[in-house]
């Protein structure tokens, strides 16, 4: 048996496994980052809509130009 050839094949197989593991780890990292960005965009959107409705309600009741009712 050619032990040198066996060593080369074992090294190539191990390298291929490490390369596949690195690729799948990178893909998982990318999908994790996309998930984080989507969650961040959702939170910013919800806060923006709440702020917009608060501003519209503030303006609907007169805003800063409200006059005090005097008796």
pLDDT of residue 20: 96
Q: What share of the chain is helix, strand, coil (3-state, %, to 5)?
A: 85, 0, 15
pLDDT digits (tens, 9 = 90+) for 21-69: 999 999 999 999 999 999 999 999 999 999 999 999 888 887 766 666 6
pLDDT of residue 6: 86
Flag whether pLDDT at 16 surpasses 60.
yes
pLDDT of residue 5: 86
pLDDT of residue 58: 87
Separation in Å, CA 3 to CA 11, 12, 26: 12, 14, 34
pLDDT of residue 24: 97
């Amino acid at each position: 048996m050619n032990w040198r050839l066996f060593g080369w094949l074992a090294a190539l197989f191990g390298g291929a496994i490490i390369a596949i593991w690195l690729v799948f780890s990178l893909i998982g990292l990318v999908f994790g980052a996309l998930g984080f960005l989507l969650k961040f965009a959702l939170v910013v959107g919800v806060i923006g809509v709440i702020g917009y409705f608060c501003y519209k309600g503030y303006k609907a009741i007169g805003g800063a130009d409200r006059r005090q009712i005097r008796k």
